[in-house]
């Protein structure tokens, strides 16, 4: 039978598999936390047993009995720590889950027994520590399955009933320390309390146990069902993402060869290899080649998307020489820049912090920035590619760390403020009516690829721009 967090779901092979919830994944850590808390309770019991009299004037405490109880709690607490220690890591939890659940349920039962003994020593039905039963019911309702939580609540009530029955019958006359219990000053002779009072204690605490267990187990079950649904949705999303990645890889691979072959044949025709072409024929071939170039660029974008999603799962980190990388990219785009009469300038600080990241993905991101700057800058513009040290703050409480900032600055047409928030979304191409640019080709995937790359590398990026005053696209990556 499947327990909490062990709901079956089909995996990629069609077989059943477990969906392990965070509630169960860190069960060993929670058991260790409870064991540490129990050790603190042992210290408190020992301190109270021996210091309550001298410091607060409490009389009649069974210090030796309470010390023995503390020793018993410490012993089973040590056994629990010994059992769970090899199974604290989440990856070791799956196989040990039944054992850990058994330890959790057993520890709660032992805590109930120890609590019952402590309450008997500290005033019985009049003890101010009766409320700790309710505390343990709350803990059990949150940590155990519904059936186990109900069983624990029933056990708690039965132990309380046994204590009350033993007190009323005289088999377990309570220890009534003077100054600790409300009736200690007049019941020190051991006279049993009124039966109606004891029935009221059982009734009130029974109702409290039932209401608490019903409310909290319902809430806990609802949260676990929600988490289970989220985990299943994430698993299905990952599967769909994997299918999409495989589809993109197969599609780009199968299209690349015929597109390359058709391009080569058309270039043969354009060069006159198969005989001279008429002017209208040559124009048609050039137009076809232009469309094939657009298709090749689109396939290159799809290959980059596949690369980003493939490397995100297992990111390869390299020691990247930023200055050399930027020089290579400027050289690779020099012909496109020269065709528009652009001047491309490299500006780097010295020294630059060393970064370890995927050089392949970083090259794709910066290359997109540079090609965009070439496209959207009127002829004869200046493009500056910069690299400089920066400070990285993960949040407001952390100390700044070293980072590297890469900027691609142009003096092009700029981007309106209203369009900048959606600039890095997929399939977004901003309308440009500036006649100085001519026809701008593109797929609308370039900056969305940059966003995916930055996310995969654990960095951040953005744009600063004003219409008519150019744009600055930037990436920051932590050094290390």
pLDDT in tens, 268-306: 888 887 788 888 888 888 888 877 877 777 777 667 666
Neighbours of 298 (CB within 10 A): 18
For 399-449, write each residue's pLDDT tens digit: 667 889 999 999 888 888 888 888 887 666 665 666 666 666 655 677 887
Residues 220 and 348 in one domain: no
Q: Which domain holds residue 15?
A: 8-240
Query: What is the average pLDDT value for the chain, to the nearest integer?
Result: 78
Q: Is 134 exposed, middle or buried (0-12, 13-18, 19+ CB in 10 A)?
A: middle
Query: Which has more confidence, 352 or 88?
Result: 352
End of a domain among 209, 240, 271?
A: 240
Flag whether 371 is in a domain.
yes
Residues 236 and 337 in one domain: no
Using DSSP bridges, classify how beta strands 318-320 and 8-10 pair: parallel, antiparallel or unpaired.
unpaired
For 385, the 3-state DSSP assignment is strand
Flag whether 304 is in a domain.
no
Residues 220 and 364 in one domain: no
Query: Into how many domains does the chain fold?
Result: 2
Flag whether 302 is in a domain.
no
Residues 46 and 188 in one domain: yes
Mean pLDDT computed over 18-37: 70
Flag whether 286 is in a domain.
no
Structure-token match 């909490």, residue found: 4
Flag whether 210 is in a domain.
yes
The pLDDT value recorded for residue 192 is: 60
Instruction: Rounding to the nearest 10 degrees, give the CA dihedral for residues 12, 16, 17, 19.
Output: 100
Distance CA 376, CA 372 (A): 6
Q: Report the CATH number at residue 343.
A: 3.30.565.10
Residues 218 and 335 in one domain: no
SS3 content of the chain, % helix, strand, coil (to 5): 60, 10, 25
Residues 86 and 209 in one domain: yes
Residues 132 and 233 in one domain: yes
Flag whether 283 is in a domain.
no
Distance CA 260, CA 293 (A): 10
The pLDDT value recorded for residue 200 is: 57
Between the two ends of the chain, the Cα-to-Cα distance in Å is 48
Q: Is the pLDDT assigned to residue 69 strictly greater than 90?
A: yes
Residues 229 and 341 in one domain: no
For 225-249, write each residue's pLDDT tens digit: 777 778 788 888 878 877 777 777 7
Flag whether 310 is in a domain.
no
Mean pLDDT computed over 312-328: 77
The pLDDT value recorded for residue 345 is: 92
The pLDDT value recorded for residue 233 is: 82
Distance CA 231, CA 98 (A): 21
End of a domain among 221, 240, 259?
A: 240
Query: Which has more confidence, 361 or 92?
Result: 361
CA atoms within 13 A on the CB side of 11: 7
**DSSP letters spanning 55-104:** HH--BS--HHHHHHHHHHHHHHHHHHHHHHGGG-SGGGHHHHHHHHHHHH
Closest CA to 344 of 360, 328, 362: 328
Residues 28 and 125 in one domain: yes
Residues 75 and 177 in one domain: yes
End of a domain among 240, 268, 301?
A: 240
Residues 357 and 450 in one domain: yes
């Amino acid at each position: 039978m499947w327990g909490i967090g062990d709901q079956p779901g089909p995996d990629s092979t069609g077989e059943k598999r477990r969906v392990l919830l965070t509630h169960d994944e860190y069960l060993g850590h929670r058991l260790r936390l409870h064991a540490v808390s129990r050790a603190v309770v042992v210290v408190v019991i020992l301190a109270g047993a021996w210091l309550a009299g001298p410091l607060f004037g409490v009389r009649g405490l069974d210090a030796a009995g309470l010390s023995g109880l503390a020793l018993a709690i410490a012993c089973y607490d040590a056994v629990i720590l010994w059992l769970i220690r090899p199974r604290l890591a989440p990856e070791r939890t799956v196989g040990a889950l039944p054992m850990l659940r058994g330890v959790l349920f057993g520890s709660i039962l032992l805590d109930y027994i120890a609590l019952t003994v402590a309450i008997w020593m500290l005033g019985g039905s009049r003890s101010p520590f009766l409320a700790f039963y309710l505390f343990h019911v709350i803990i059990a309702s949150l940590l155990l399955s519904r059936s186990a939580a109900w069983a624990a609540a029933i056990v708690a009530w039965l132990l309380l009933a046994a204590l009350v029955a033993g007190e009323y019958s005289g088999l377990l006359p309570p220890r009534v320390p003077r100054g600790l219990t409300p009736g200690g000053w007049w019941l020190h002779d051991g006279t049993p309390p009124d039966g109606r009072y004891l029935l009221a204690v059982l009734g009130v605490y029974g109702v409290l146990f039932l209401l608490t267990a019903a409310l909290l187990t319902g809430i806990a079950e609802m949260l676990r069902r929600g988490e289970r649904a989220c985990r299943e949705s994430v698993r299905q999303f990952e599967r769909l993402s994997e299918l999409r990645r495989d589809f993109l890889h197969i599609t780009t691979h199968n299209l690349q060869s015929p597109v390359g072959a058709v391009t080569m044949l058309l270039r043969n025709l354009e060069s006159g290899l198969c005989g001279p072409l008429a002017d209208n024929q040559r124009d048609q071939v050039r137009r076809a080649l232009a469309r094939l170039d657009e298709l090749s660029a689109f396939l290159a974008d799809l290959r980059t998307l596949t690369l980003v999603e493939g490397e995100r799962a297992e990111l390869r980190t390299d020691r990247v020489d930023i200055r050399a990388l930027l020089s290579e990219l400027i050289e690779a785009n020099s012909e496109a820049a020269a065709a528009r009469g652009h001047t491309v300038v490299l500006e780097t600080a010295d020294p630059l912090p060393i970064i370890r990241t995927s050089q392949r993905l970083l090259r794709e991101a910066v290359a997109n920035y540079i090609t965009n700057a070439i496209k959207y800058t009127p002829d004869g513009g200046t493009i500056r590619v910069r690299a400089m040290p920066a400070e990285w703050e993960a949040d407001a409480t952390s100390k700044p760390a070293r980072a590297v900032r890469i900027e691609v600055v142009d003096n092009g047409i700029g981007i309106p403020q209203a369009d900048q928030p959606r600039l890095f979304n997929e399939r977004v191409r901003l309308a440009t009516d500036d006649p100085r640019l001519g026809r701008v080709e593109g797929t609308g995937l370039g900056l969305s690829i940059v966003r995916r790359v930055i996310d995969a590398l654990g960095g951040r990026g953005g744009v600063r721009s004003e219409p008519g005053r150019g744009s600055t696209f930037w990436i920051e990556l932590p050094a290390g």
